[in-house]
Amino acid sequence: MPSSANTLADPFVHISKEFMDDPYPIFHRLRAEAPVFWSEKGRYWLVTRYADAHHILRDGNYEKGIPHAGPVKNFIVHMTGGDELKESVANWVALKNPPEHTRIRSTANKAFTPTMITRMRPSIQDIANHLIDELEKKQEFDLVSEYAFELPVRVIAKMLGVPADDIDKLHQWSNILTGLLEPRQGFNPGRMHKMVGANREFIDYLRPLVEERKKNPQEDLISDLLAAQDSANKLTEEELLANCVFMLIAGHETTVNLIGNGVHALVTNPEQLALIKENPDLTPQAVEEALRYQCPVQMVRRIAHQDLELGGHKIAKEDLVIISLGACNRDPAVFPNPDKFDISRKDARHLAFGEGVHFCLGASLARAEADIAFRTLFDRLPGLKLKTTSLEYKDPFGLRGFKEIPVTVK
Coil, helix or strand for 38?
Answer: strand
104 or 353, which is more confident: 353
Interhelix angle 237-267/83-90, rounded to 10 degrees, is 80
Confirm whether 7 is domain-assigned.
no
Confirm whether 191 is domain-assigned.
yes
Range of weakest confidence among 73-77, 113-117, 199-203, 369-373: 73-77
SS3 content of the chain, % helix, strand, coil (to 5): 55, 10, 35
Res. 301: pLDDT tops 80 = yes
C-alpha triplet 115, 366, 180: angle, nearest 5°: 120
Res. 75: pLDDT tops 80 = no
Confirm whether 360 is domain-assigned.
yes
Range of weakest confidence among 53-62, 179-188, 242-251, 326-335: 179-188
> Tens of pLDDT along 144-198?
999 999 999 999 988 888 888 898 898 889 888 887 776 554 456 777 788 888 9
Q: What pLDDT, on a 0 to 100 scale, did the predictor assign at position 87?
A: 83
> Domain containing 75 — which CATH number?
1.10.630.10
Is the pTM above the cut of 0.85? yes
Res. 318: pLDDT tops 70 = yes
52 or 79, which is more confident: 52
What is the C-alpha to C-alpha distance for residues 360 and 383, in angstroms, rounded to an integer?
34
Res. 317: pLDDT tops 90 = yes
Q: What pLDDT, on a 0 to 100 scale, did the predictor assign at position 4?
A: 46
Task: Work out the end-to-end distance of the chain between its first and last CA atoms, rounded to an integer number of angstroms.
Answer: 60
Q: What is the chain's mean pLDDT, rounded?
A: 88
Res. 54: pLDDT tops 90 = yes
Confirm whether 393 is domain-assigned.
yes
Burial of residue 120 (CB within 10 Å: 0-12, 13-18, 19+) is buried
Confirm whether 314 is domain-assigned.
no
Highest-pLDDT range among 112-116, 234-238, 276-280, 397-401: 276-280
Q: Confidence band (pLDDT; 50, 70, 90) for 95? A: confident
Confirm whether 369 is domain-assigned.
yes
Confirm whether 116 is domain-assigned.
yes
Res. 382: pLDDT tops 80 = yes
Q: What pLDDT, on a 0 to 100 scale, did the predictor assign at position 2?
A: 53
DSSP lists the bridge partners of residue 406 as 142
DSSP lists the bridge partners of residue 46 as 37, 322
SS3 of 53-72: the string is HHHHHHCCCEECCCCCCCHH
Confirm whether 102 is domain-assigned.
yes
Q: What pLDDT, on a 0 to 100 scale, did the predictor assign at position 182?
A: 64
> Residue 250 belongs to what domain range?
71-293+356-408
Total domain count, the chain: 1
